Amino acid sequence: MNILKKICKTIVNILLVLIFVTPFYWMFLTAFKTISQTIQMPPLFYVLDPQWSNFSQVFEKIPLLHMFKNSVLISAGILLCQAITVIPAAYAFARYKFAGSKVLFGLTLITMMIPSQLIFLPVYLLLSKLGLINTYASMILPSACSAFAIFMLRQTFMQIPEELVEAARLDKASELKIMLKIMLPIARPTVTTLALLTFISSWNDYFWPLVLTTNDTVRTLPLGISMLKAVDGAVMPYHIIMAGNVLLVIPIIIAFICAQKQIIQAFTYVGEK
C-alpha cells in the first residue's frame, strides 16, 4: 500500500516536471538546432553540434545590446520613480488623517482595477501631444506609480506601532527622518518584495513597448524578440526566435535559481495580505 502510494507520487512528480520543465528544455534545445533540424520528424532530443551562430544571427537582426540596455534602464527608472511616488504616498495614507484621504485612497484603489490594456490609446495620444514618444520618459511615466504598491506599503506602515513614531517625535526627529530612518527599515521586507515584483513585471513587459515605441530608440528586449518572427514567405525561424528567447529568459531564470527563496517569499507575501 505504502509502496504503491510512493510509486504514484513519483509518477505524479515526474509528470509535473515534464509538464513544466520540458517547454523550457525545448526552447534551449531549439536555440541550438539548425533550421532543418527544427522541422525534422521524429524530432531530435539532443544536438551534437550546437549552432552558436543562431545567437549571432539574433544580434544581426535586432540591436540586441541596445535593447538590453533599454530594458535595464527602463526597469531601473520605473523602480526609482515608484520609490519616489509610492513611499511618501503610502506613508501619508497610513499615518495622517486629512480631508479627502478616504476618497483619494479609494480612487487609488480603483486605478488598481484598470489594466494598461484598456487605456493605451488615450495614453498614446497624451504622450504624443507631449512629444515624448520614443523617449525613456514615455516608457517610465505610465508605470511611475503603482496603486498596488501604495496599498501594500500602507498596510505595512499601519502595522508599525504608534509608540515608535511618538518616541522619535520626542527626540525632535524631522518627519523625513522618521519616514526614512524608522519606518522604511521596518518596512524593508515589503519594499524589497515590491521592488522585486516591479522589476520582474517591467523587465517582462511587452505591451507598453509595443504600443509606445515607433523606432528602436527605447525598444526593449521582449519587443525585439517578437520582431524576429517577421519573415516573408519563409520557414518560421524557430531556431533564431528561441535563441532570442533564451537570451530574454536566462537572466530571469538565473535570478530565480539564485534567489528562489526570496522571490517565492515575495510573491507569497503579497498574496497573503
Rounded-to-integer distance, Cα 17 and Cα 145, Å: 37
Pick between residue 1 and residue 176 the one whose CB is nearest to other proteins: 176
Cα separation, 33 vs 37, in Å, equals 6
107 or 167: CB nearest other proteins = 107
240 vs 245: CA distance, rounded Å? 8
| Shortest reach from residue 50's CB to other proteins, in Å | 18
Closest CA to 89 of 151, 181, 178, 166: 151
- Residue (167 or 254) nearer to other proteins, CB: 254
* Closer to other proteins by Cβ: residue 3 or 19: 19
Nearest-approach distance from CB 131 to other proteins, in angstroms: 6
Residue 111 sits at φ, ψ, to 5 deg, of -60, -20
DSSP labels, 20-77: HHHHHHHHHHHHTS-HHHHT-SSPPSS-SS--THHHHHHHHHS-HHHHHHHHHHHHHH
CB of 251 to other proteins, least distance (A): 10
Nearer CB in complex with other proteins: 50/95: 95
Q: Quote the least distance from Cβ 7 to other proteins, whole Å.
A: 15
Whether the ω angle into residue 50 lies within 30 degrees of 0, i.e. cis, is no
Q: How far is the CB of 141 from other proteins (least distance, A)?
A: 6
